[in-house]
Chain A
């Protein structure tokens, strides 16, 4: 099909999948675990922020499992900073299993020192 150039190969169906974040929340007493899958960006971070705000009211421990988080931008960092500040004096916040791209962002921005990373 030589008539169709490279431009026609654009996978438009994938467009909505580009900015996607699945959030699963597990509650064990006052310990909350958030399992994130996808991308924490400008579009998806308000959803996480809202869910964390619901939890930090009575949480004594906040665990964020990033094993399946492929991407984080400054919008995501702002949510994590807000969460750390909300947990200050109330309990621990732990980030588990950060992937390499997320780890690199944490190291660059000094966020590696703001919470425990396991």
Chain B
């Protein structure tokens, strides 16, 4: 398992994605899968950066493990900000017209639908969100 501890600031997004991509490239992850993981990582990290600490500052912990058989990656995001389960949010209605559609909820919706497993728990004052994705 490798870990990155970083200020929860959206401007740190490239550094978080580089950290993840390094492990994915090492594991031989196909490009399209890597892009979908990158998107999920953006949605989850930016969520923490935007909401976990209100107007204040705080850290985000990103942990990555690559597993064999089946080749898969597990990425965990941890913050000790305000308790929030993003998975509890209702999915956007993707059948609505442009006029009727709202701008919220798309990020988590994509994470739920592109990853193979997404789980959340609140433990010891920490939000812990884990995604898993098979790499082939």
Chain A residues in the interface with B (C-beta under 8 A): 6, 10-11, 14-16, 18-19, 41-43, 70-75, 77-78, 81-82, 84-85, 88, 100-101, 104-105, 108-110, 113-115
Contacts and interface: CB of A to CB of B under 8 A. Distances in A.
A41 B36 CA distance: 13
Given A75-B42, A113-B95, A115-B98, 12 more contacts: A10-B22, A15-B15, A18-B18, A42-B10, A43-B14, A74-B106, A78-B106, A85-B99, A88-B98, A110-B94, A110-B96, A114-B101
A109 B99 CA distance: 15
A73 B36 contact: no
A75 B42 CA distance: 10
Contacts of B95: 110, 113
Contact of A73 (B14, B43, B97): B43
Interface stretch (B52-60, B67-75, B77-85, B107-115): B107-115
Contacts of B32: 100-101, 104
A63 to B, nearest CB: 17
Given A6-B26, A88-B98, A101-B36, A42 B42 contact: yes
Q: State the main secondary structure of chain B at its contact with A.
A: helix
Contacts of A6: 26
Which of A16, A19, A70 has most chain B Cβ within 10 Å?
A19
17 contacts: A6-B26, A10-B18, A15-B14, A15-B15, A16-B14, A19-B13, A71-B38, A72-B39, A73-B39, A73-B107, A75-B46, A82-B103, A105-B110, A108-B114, A109-B106, A110-B96, A115-B98
A38 B72 CA distance: 27
Contacts of A70: 35
B46 A108 contact: no
Interface of B: 10-11, 13-15, 17-18, 22, 26, 32, 35-36, 38-39, 42-43, 46, 92, 94-99, 101, 103, 106-107, 109-110, 113-114
A109 B14 contact: no
A105 B107 CA distance: 11
A75 B45 CA distance: 13
Contacts of B110: 73-74, 105, 108-109
A41 B49 CA distance: 14
A101 B40 CA distance: 13
Contact of B35 (A71, A108, A114): A71
